[in-house]
Amino acid sequence: MSAAEPVCVWAVGAELGEGPLWDAATRSVYFVDIKGRQVHRYGEQGERRSWPAPQQVGFIVPLAAGGFACGLQDGLYRFCQASGDFTLLRHVEQELPSNRFNDGFVDAEGCLWFGSMDDAERRPSGALYRLSRDGQLSIADRDYVITNGPAMSPDGRTLYHTDTLEKTVFRFDVLADGSLGGKRPFARIAGSGHPDGMAVDAEGCVWIALFGGGRIERYAACGDYLGSVAFPCSNVTKLAFGGADLRTVYATTAWKGLTAAQRAREPLAGALFSFRTAAPGLAPHPLSAGASA
């Protein structure tokens, strides 16, 4: 595994940085601060911009019609970066006001996969959702305290999803109708830290960020451990591949849960980092217009 040492590109100080998303059109990476209720954008040339969100914001994904969609605490919203406005697309889990959304991504078919979780991190009230191209919302898996991850293999046949408290990343078969089957463990984290967000590269390898573990681990598609990238802070939350060649990794971090003494030892906790890697990533896909209507 060949990777350079992570470099801080923005000491933004996110309480719970998450969901980096490469935007080729603006040559920038968007990401969120869930607890800080912010959407951030960092450009390759160093441009920085932030927008306040009206609720906790779990993820940001591109829309096929332009702009972005975000998972706020009570549903999916269209986000306009020009005005900073958030417009409701659809409510989700209104009957579970103590839940929030935590992570999401769009597959090659334009379907959105995203997870919910208990905001207090105690009850197994979370679920993994799929929003299909025609706007049908379904629960693909359930009974999670903290959901994380979802990511998919390059051929679209395998979906990866994390049960963070169980320290296990699961793999599922993606069936012809878009539903999931064959749930089984893909990777169990034996060392320090809990598996958080992840991304899959063009070789089919899975990169897993470790909250409390101070590193990102890389696994082959068969589940073999390939190596890790160490960070100067404990809570690494998610990564995305960007740059013109998709070989620049952007990674979010968090200071959530750290004591005052730990934060003093980790002044870059909550920063956005980047490093170069030999294996390119996969370009992000936009959410289908039908799904977002």
Contacts of 182 (CB under 8 A, 6+ apart): 171, 172, 173
**Alpha-carbon distance 120 to 230, whole Å?**
29
Indicate the pTM of the whole model.
Answer: 0.96
> Please, which residues bridge with residue 106 across strands?
112
**Alpha-carbon distance 67 to 84, whole Å?**
11
Q: What is the DSSP letter of 63?
A: B
pLDDT in tens, 53-77: 999 999 999 999 899 999 999 999 9
Which amino acid belongs to residue 257?
A: G
Helix (H, G, I), strand (E, B) or coil at 112: strand
Contacts 24+ apart (CB under 8 A), 40-44: 40/10, 40/12, 40/14, 40/272, 41/81, 42/9, 42/10, 42/250, 42/272, 44/243
**Alpha-carbon distance 126 to 140, whole Å?**
11
132, burial (CB in 10 Å: exposed 0-12, middle 13-18, buried 19+): middle
* Model pLDDT, residue 196: 97
Q: Distance between alpha carbon 101 and the CA centroid of its chain, in Å?
A: 11
Q: Which residue among 23, 103, 196, 201 is the active-site one?
A: 196
CB atoms within 10 A of CB 202: 14
Q: Which residue shows structure tokens 């994390």?
A: 162
Q: Does residue 118 contact residue 99 with C-beta atoms inside 8 Å?
A: yes
* CATH of segment(s) 7-292: 2.120.10.30
CB atoms within 10 A of CB 49: 13
Q: Is 85 a catalytic residue?
A: no
* Model pLDDT, residue 3: 57
Work out the end-to-end distance of the chain between its first and last CA atoms, rounded to an integer number of angstroms: 42
Low-confidence residues in the chain, pLDDT < 70: 1-3, 293
Percent share of the chain, pLDDT over 90 = 94
Domain ranges of the chain: 7-292
> Which of 251-266 are b and which e, b meaning 16 or more Cβ less than 10 Å from the residue's Cβ?
bbbbbbebeeeeeeeb
